[in-house]
Amino acid sequence: MLLPLLKIVISVGIACILHSILVYSLSVKTFANVSPFTFFKGVAPAAVVAFSTASSAGTLPVTIKNTQENLGVSNKISSFVLPLGATINMDGTAIYQGVAVVFIAQFYGLDLSFMQLVTVVITTVLASIGTAGVPGAGMIMLAMVLGAVGLPLEGIALIAGIDRILDMFRTTVNIVGDASAAVVVAGTEGEIDRTVFGK
């Protein structure tokens, strides 16, 4: 009975890891000329806090501190980009909602059409932008996504028991995404103090 739930945890975990490694590594290397290893090492303390608290808003002070001290992002960039990112940059939440919708559809034995899948993608991105940076908010927004494709809202109960674990994964991705955005903006604006990389 627990095997399908383990599959959704593994699926969300793998998707979050791949998204972080591929998208964020490529972004910081391409736009800011920062080594992906240096980036992930610098943002690691904030990622650990995000994983343990499952709150983007609660992790914000640590994220600001890490991007300034470990990644050399200027105060004016980090103090604007990171609070904005904690509000609207929810990549992990979008990943979670997409996987959850497919899982719930499979549980009910329903096949999603191509247009329904497109609707899921669009709705998850829009819903993730409006999601609050507090624990459990993504599950509430999942109701909107399920309603958009005509799936039963009762399906939320299927994953409610493991939502905290999934929340930890998606919040970590959100925080790492915020930090990568700050590094990219700082890199394009010449606002990175690269002397911190030698520490």
79-136 pLDDT, tens digit per residue, is: 999 998 888 888 888 888 888 888 888 888 888 888 888 888 888 887 777 666 566 6
Residue 111, domain extent = 92-166
Please tell me whether residues 24 and 77 are part of one structural domain: yes
Residues 71 and 135 in one domain: no
CA pair distance 181, 24, nearest whole angstrom: 8
Q: Please report whether residue 130 resides in a domain.
A: yes
Q: Identify whether 86 is part of a domain.
A: yes
41 and 112 inside one domain: no
58 with 102, same domain: the answer is no
Q: Residue 3: beta bridge partners? A: none
Same domain, 99 and 86: no
Q: Are residues 105 and 190 in the same domain?
A: no
Say yes or no: 176 and 158 in one domain.
Answer: no
72 and 139 in a single domain? The answer is: no
Percent of the chain scoring above 90 in pLDDT: 40
User: 70-106 burial string, b = 16+ CB within 10 Å, else e?
Assistant: bbbbbeebbeebbbebbbebbbbbbbbbbbbbebbbe
Instruction: Flag whether 199 is in a domain.
Output: no
Residues comprising the chain, all counted:
199
User: Do the Cβ atoms of 91 and 74 come closer than 8 Å?
Assistant: no
- Please tell me the total count of domains within the chain: 2
Same-domain status, 17 and 36 = yes
pLDDT value of position 153: 84
Alpha carbon of 5 to those of 89, 90, 127, 160, 162: distances in Å? 26, 23, 23, 10, 7
* pTM (predicted TM-score): 0.86
- Same domain? For 113 and 157 the reply is yes
pLDDT (0 to 100) of residue 2: 72
Span 51-70, pLDDT tens digits: 998 888 889 999 999 999 99
Residues 8 and 82 grouped into a single domain: yes
**Rounded Cα gap, residues 11 and 92, in angstroms:** 12
Kindly give the residue spans of alpha helices, DSSP state H, lying in the chain: 3-19, 25-32, 36-53, 56-69, 75-88, 91-107, 114-129, 137-148, 156-160, 163-188
